Amino acid sequence: MTRLRVDGVPVELPAGATLLDAVRAVGAELPTLCHDDRLPPAGFCRTCLVDADGRTVAACVTPATPGMTVDTGNEHVRELWRDAVALIASTLPRRALAEASPSELAETCRLLDIDPDTAAASPGHEPDDSHPYVRLDPDLCIACGRCVRMCSDVQGTFALTLTGRGADTVAAPGTGGPWAESDCVSCGGCVDTCPTGAITQPGPAAGLTSRRPEPAPVRTTCGYCGVGCALDVVVREGEVAAVLPARDGPVNRGHACVKGRFAHGYLTSSERLTEPLVRRGGVLTRVGWDEALGVVASGLRAAVGQGAPDAVAAISSARATNEENYLVQKFVRTVIGTNNVDNCSRLCHAPSAAGLTASFGRAGGTDSFDDVEQADCLLVVGANPVEAHPVVGARLLQRALDGAVLVVADPRGVGLARHADVHLPNRPGTNVALFHGLAHVLVDEGLTDPGFLRDRAAGLDELTPLLAEYPPARVAAITGVPARDIVAAARYYGRAEHPAIVYGLGVTEHLHGTDGVRALANLPILRGAVGATGRGFGITPLRGQNNVQGASDMGALPDLLPGYGHVTDPAARARAEAVWGRPVPTTPGLRIPAMFDAARDGRLRALWIIGEDVCATDPDSTRVAEALDACPLVVVDELFAGETARHADVVLPVASWLEKDGTFVNFDRRFQRVRTAVGPPGGARTDFAVVHAVAAAMGADLGCRTPAAALAECGRLAPDFAGISHERLDREGALHWPCPSPDAPGEATLYAGTFATSDGRAHLAAPPYLPPGEEPDADYPLLLVTGRRWAHYNSGSMTRRGANLGLDPQGHLDLHPEDAARHGVRDGAPVVVDSRHGQARLTARVGGDLAPGQVFCAFHFPDEHVNSLTSGHADTATSCPEYKVTAVRLRPAQE
């Protein structure tokens, strides 16, 4: 602790604090034009001057030392501020200090009584209006460097630079041309830090930053990906004016990405559904809510009457809140009387839930991201966080730039792989062999932790002989990764003091996805780098959707109740029955793919799909559409009439994340609040209200009238969430589960002392490597990998309706130059891709850092039919589709 005095007031500060921290600790303010708390101090602008023991110093870069006396109040210091700030302002045109300007500079000048006419320079540069979300007005630039440093030191994109000389130095895209053609990924970091208005968001948000948003914003949690960024929504005249990154956001710490920050144009799209639709004479027709609810209720009753409760199923939404998911599964189990409820975790991280539960006892990641970020070796496997979890990707990149070793296992050389110390581009579908190869080296070179293996693990005796079959040379032959790189990666992981693993769908979306998770989980067990040993940070899946962790936590799963009690476990059922006052069905229900099978063969007679565009995003989509067409009642809760709605009998218009109240659980098990910023359009209702209304139409009362009451009820039957409530989250911000009581802090790092398995040990697994479901052959010679792009989100229903579409207007097929030449395909030309299951039309992009024989595309444009290509192969343990491996062929389209 450092003790010093500021303006006569004693302060105590932690080691490493600066004089700026000291000044702020007493509540005083300084001009700090080149400083942002999110950045390391730079000391460029010389406006933050204070008297320290009689010397004039820049507070932001001067360490606080014991016994110092700091003075900010005297007229001499104020005069220095005025001079420094006025000198900076004098280089700008008059409008920089316009009366209404909300900029930090204009506000500072007002506070210091600097005459607005001080800014009198004549304009000299053209503004850059090329980008939808970022406008550059170089005449207002003071060359403080904050934007450049946000882009490099926080975002890691390095898109900006300072150009020009002397007083004419201004910020500009590093590529020299217009902003829209630069490397910018629209995170908004530069917009949020710019103190003068030189970089702003065009439109009603102009000049708004997270420093002091006006009017007071609504704090919520992002409804796109699972990172769980805390966002501040500024609402003006009933509409969202801006979405700003919350500086005190526990995960994002004042950062965000193009989706959470900017992609809210969908809210006011003219295509938003505002009234219920019911199919009449083959046509979806607008009706009132009472009529639509009547059709749903009578259809559900008929399905139960003709086929018993198991003829009904629901797909709940990982986009929706915990409370909505809780209510959906409660409705399905207690009003219909079946366990046929599932969510898109099935398509995504079901293998993680199954694999991590088998290895360690619980379905989530083992550690908090805050811990992962302390690691000295990052093993990033089958994940592209730079595009799919940008705020996590940015933090991982900064960690690597700060010196942590980075090992990336991904067939493609994109994203973090570009910065890796070792990149392992294994052939898609060969993970199990690769992970056993790494484990082989750990064992072979004595890089395991014998004490941990003896005291806290099980399964070594079965694993050891299996690993003997995976020497680097053999693994190299299977995976295509050079043996020396396998050895190098294993040594890095094996020798690090705090190795961490984060992984994504490149591990799970395979025929043997659960085996992949288990083989990967062997590594931290062998190293003793899991279980709060202080020697590492375990293994964390980068769960995808904003609330896919929560949808599963809430029991929107066919075999698990809220809090992961199994439906076949009498004790778990009894806990739920005591709260619900209704029997819980005893047999596990249908998983999503089995729901479609049952519909096709006539066993499923009603399917309620809440926020999942199954005809666009589930695999082998032609067969999915057949299933929906065969099902007598298909009800869809949606924001937009997408592919699935076209096959629906009833479409119910619902609210999105900015329009409702509740909670989400992010990828590292944090509950955070979601709050209503604006009302839903027209007659749209929340999924929460819709589930209540359907239950009421069937003569049932689900109780828990408010989202807060629903979460409280869930806590009564799920001990892991018993300590979490809206009221507590409103006070504390975020809480990790497990959190068993209102005074428990929430467990960020799991398994101190014991694992949650039946014997308290971490379980090594010994699955053999088995080949993927499809392999390229003479007819279909290319291996298609599907995944994500930064500007769009899944079905694209929200990101295609707004300016993100301009950033990435169509789907591309990335391919190697050799394959382009072999198949007669030119860069930018339309191509037809065929698989054994269907056909897609995309635009060729030669590049993308793939091996010859492999091609890559995303699935964000349903019109292009990418998911008609993907097969029905699915993880043998959990039915997660094999989206990452499809054999395809390619030809140029007729132009």
Ligand X SMILES: Nc1nc2c(c(=O)[nH]1)N[C@H]1C(S)=C(S)[C@@H](COP(=O)(O)OP(=O)(O)OC[C@H]3O[C@@H](n4cnc5c(=O)[nH]c(N)nc54)[C@H](O)[C@@H]3O)O[C@H]1N2
Q: Report the nearest approach of ligand FES to the CB of residue 787 (Å).
A: 42
267 counts as binding ligand SF4 under rule CB under 6 A = no
CB 491 within 8 A of CB 447: yes
34 counts as binding ligand FES under rule CB under 6 A = yes
Using the rule CB under 6 A, give the single segment among 399-407, 504-512, 518-526, 665-673 that binds ligand X: 504-512
- Is the Cβ of residue 143 or residue 422 nearer to ligand FES in the bound state? 143
Q: Which of 6, 52, 58, 481 binds ligand FES (CB under 6 A)?
A: 58
- Residues 316-345: x where in contact with ligand X by CB under 6 A, - otherwise, as a string: -x-xx-----------------------x-
At 290, the amino acid letter reads D
Q: Which of 13, 45, 80, 502 binds ligand FES (CB under 6 A)?
A: 45
Cis status of the peptide bond prior to 215, with omega within 30 of 0: yes
From the list 456, 431, 442, 536, the residue with the least C-alpha distance to 490 is: 442
In angstroms, the first-to-last Cα distance of the chain is 71
Distance CA 736, CA 369 (A): 11
Which contiguous run of DSSP H or E holds residue 762?
strand 762-763
- Residues 218-257: x where in contact with ligand X by CB under 6 A, - otherwise, as a string: -------x--------------------------------
Site size toward ligand FES (CB under 6 A) is 12
Rg (CA), the chain: 28
Q: Which two tokens stand for residue 787?
A: 């995944």
Instruction: Kindly list the distances between the CA atom of residue 874 and the CA atoms of 105, 363, 622, in Å, as whole numbers in the listed order.
Output: 57, 20, 16
766 counts as binding Mo ion under rule CB under 5 A = no
Q: Report the nearest approach of ligand X to the CB of residue 303 (Å).
A: 20
Angle formed at CA 169 by CA 167 and CA 175, multiple of 5 degrees: 170
Site size toward ligand SF4 (CB under 6 A) is 29
Give the residue at shortest CB distance from ligand X.
Answer: 544
Report what 729 binds from Mo ion, ligand SF4, ligand X, none; CB cut-off 5-8 Å by kind. Answer: none
811 counts as binding ligand X under rule CB under 6 A = no
348 counts as binding Mo ion under rule CB under 5 A = yes
Using the rule CB under 6 A, give the single segment among 32-40, 156-164, 207-215, 398-406 that binds ligand FES: 32-40
Q: What share of the chain is helix, strand, coil (3-state, %, to 5)?
A: 35, 20, 45
Report what 678 binds from ligand X, ligand FES, Mo ion, none; CB cut-off 5-8 Å by kind. Answer: none
What is the residue-wise DSSP string for 374-410? T-SEEEEES--HHHHSHHHHHHHHHHHHTT-EEEEE-
Give the residue at shortest CB distance from ligand SF4.
Answer: 260
Using the rule CB under 6 A, give the single segment among 385-393, 422-430, 500-508, 586-594 that binds ligand SF4: 385-393
Long-range contacts (CB closer than 8 Å, 24 or more residues apart) made by 85-88: 85/31, 85/33, 85/47, 85/109, 85/112, 85/114, 86/114, 86/118, 88/33, 88/45, 88/47, 88/142
- Is the Cβ of residue 80 or residue 441 nearer to ligand FES in the bound state? 80
Q: For residues 170-199, which are near ligand SF4 according to CB under 6 A?
A: 184-190
Burial class (CB in 10 A: 0-12, 13-18, 19+), 212: exposed
Give the chain's length: 895
257 counts as binding ligand SF4 under rule CB under 6 A = yes
Q: Report the nearest approach of ligand SF4 to the CB of residue 828 (Å).
A: 25
Q: Report the nearest approach of Mo ion to the CB of residue 794 (Å).
A: 7
155 counts as binding ligand SF4 under rule CB under 6 A = yes
Cis status of the peptide bond prior to 738, with omega within 30 of 0: yes
Q: How far is CA 379 from the centre of its chain?
A: 18
- Residues 431-470: x where in contact with ligand X by CB under 6 A, - otherwise, as a string: x---------------------------------------
Burial class (CB in 10 A: 0-12, 13-18, 19+), 107: middle
Distance CA 538, CA 369 (A): 10
φ/ψ of 792, rounded to 5, equals -120, 160
Q: Report the nearest approach of ligand X to the CB of residue 775 (Å).
A: 13
From the list 169, 150, 276, the residue with the least C-alpha distance to 210 is: 150
Instruction: Kindly list the distances between the CA atom of residue 739 and the CA atoms of 367, 484, 670, in Å, as whole numbers in the listed order.
Output: 14, 44, 10
Using the rule CB under 6 A, give the single segment among 158-166, 273-281, 556-564, 787-795 that binds ligand X: 787-795
From the list 656, 607, 615, the residue with the least C-alpha distance to 635 is: 607
157 counts as binding ligand SF4 under rule CB under 6 A = yes
Report what 544 binds from ligand SF4, Mo ion, ligand FES, none; CB cut-off 5-8 Å by kind. Answer: Mo ion
From the list 232, 121, 210, 134, the residue with the least C-alpha distance to 179 is: 134
Distance CA 425, CA 540 (A): 21
Q: For residues 365-394, which are near ligand X according to CB under 6 A?
A: 381-385, 387-389
46 counts as binding ligand FES under rule CB under 6 A = yes
- Is the Cβ of residue 105 or residue 234 nearer to ligand FES in the bound state? 105
Using the rule CB under 6 A, give the single segment among 37-45, 290-298, 335-343, 470-478 that binds ligand FES: 37-45
What is the residue-wise DSSP string for 130-182? -SSS-EE-GGG-----HHHHIIIIII----EEEESSGGG-EEEETTSS-GGGS
35 counts as binding ligand FES under rule CB under 6 A = yes
For ligand FES, the binding residues (CB under 6 A) are 32-35, 43-48, 58, 60
For ligand SF4, the binding residues (CB under 6 A) are 134, 150-151, 155, 157, 159-160, 184-190, 222, 224-225, 227-229, 252, 256-257, 259-261, 389-391
For ligand X, the binding residues (CB under 6 A) are 225, 317, 319-320, 344, 347-348, 381-385, 387-389, 409-412, 426, 428-429, 431, 504-506, 509, 542, 544-545, 610-613, 617, 637-640, 642, 654, 656-657, 687, 785-788, 790, 792-795, 797-798, 859, 866-867, 870, 883-884
